[in-house]
């Protein structure tokens, strides 16, 4: 399973009024990279371990992690089910080990925080649209000045839907109170989520391990449209 190519989307036809951000992989290092690293640690195929832990992430399925992100089951129950999936293939696919590998990362990305802060100060409406876990809410919120950076948060575990379901993007647009999708930019580290945002008419950017390219592209587009 691959997150896809970093193809440049078409330029929006109207000025950007709102910027929506993913959390993990945009403001922090990617959990997908941590899952691949777990595969390497276990001597297993990294992409297969990624799919066992997080499911086919280009889709919205009944995989335990997807159900967890929709708030349908607990973290403990999801972990048990994912461990069982791994045992069927002789691999110890423990999501908690993925969290441990992420704990050694570089923390929040100051460059993305700073750019979001400047966007909001410039009058661009900003929000977070995240696939997340109810039990981890207090932890991840401690990593960012959430109320300063975002007008609102759409958390999958709270709203019962998750990316790439187009309804979660439609909900975010509804919360923006009439901002057209073609005037909205969305940044995410998973190409399937970016593609889903484009599917509802948003302009999408995929963020790589180094977010500088995505931020530079965002700045280029905003500057071009401001002229």
Overall average pLDDT of the 111-115 stretch: 97
pLDDT given for residue 178 in this prediction:
83
Pair 218, 185: CB distance under 8 Å: yes
pLDDT averaged over every residue in the chain: 91
Final residue of a structural domain among 58, 83, 103:
103
pLDDT > 50? residue 4: no
Residue 3 lies in a domain: no
| Distance (Å, whole) CA 150 – CA 120 | 8
Residue 199 neighbours by CB under 8 Å, 6+ apart: 166
| Distance (Å, whole) CA 177 – CA 142 | 28
User: Which of the listed ranges 10-24, 152-166, 170-184 does the model predict with the highest average pLDDT?
Assistant: 152-166
Residue 2's region, left for phi above 0, alpha for psi from -120 to 50, else beta, is beta
Q: How many domains does the chain fold into? A: 2
Residue 6 lies in a domain: no
Overall average pLDDT of the 178-183 stretch: 90
Final residue of a structural domain among 103, 129, 155:
103
Pair 93, 53: CB distance under 8 Å: yes
Is the model's pTM score more than 0.95?
no
Domain that holds residue 69: 31-103
**182 and 131 co-located in one domain:** yes
Residue 160's region, left for phi above 0, alpha for psi from -120 to 50, else beta, is left
Taking the mean position of all CA atoms in its chain, how far away is CA 203? 15
Final residue of a structural domain among 45, 70, 103:
103
């Amino acid at each position: 399973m691959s997150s896809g190519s970093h193809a440049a989307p078409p330029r929006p036809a109207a000025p950007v009024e709102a910027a929506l951000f993913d959390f993990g992989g945009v403001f922090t290092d990617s959990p997908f990279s941590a899952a691949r690293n777990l595969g390497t640690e276990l001597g297993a195929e990294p992409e297969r371990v990624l799919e066992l832990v997080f499911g086919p992430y280009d889709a919205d399925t009944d995989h335990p992690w997807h159900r967890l992100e929709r708030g349908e089951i607990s973290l403990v129950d999801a972990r048990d089910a994912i461990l069982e999936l791994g045992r069927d293939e002789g691999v110890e696919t423990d999501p908690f080990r993925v969290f441990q590998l992420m704990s050694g990362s570089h923390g929040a990305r100051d460059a993305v925080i700073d750019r979001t802060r400047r966007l909001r100060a410039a009058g661009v409406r900003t929000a977070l649209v995240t696939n997340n876990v109810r039990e981890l809410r207090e932890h991840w919120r401690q990593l960012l000045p959430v109320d300063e950076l975002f007008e609102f948060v759409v958390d999958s575990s709270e709203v019962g839907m998750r990316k790439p379901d187009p309804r979660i993007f439609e909900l975010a647009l509804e919360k923006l109170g009439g901002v057209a999708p073609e005037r909205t930019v969305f940044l995410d580290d998973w190409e399937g989520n970016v593609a889903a945002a484009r599917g509802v008419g948003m302009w999408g950017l995929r963020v790589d391990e180094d977010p500088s390219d995505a931020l530079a592209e965002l700045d280029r587009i905003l500057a071009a449209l401001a002229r």
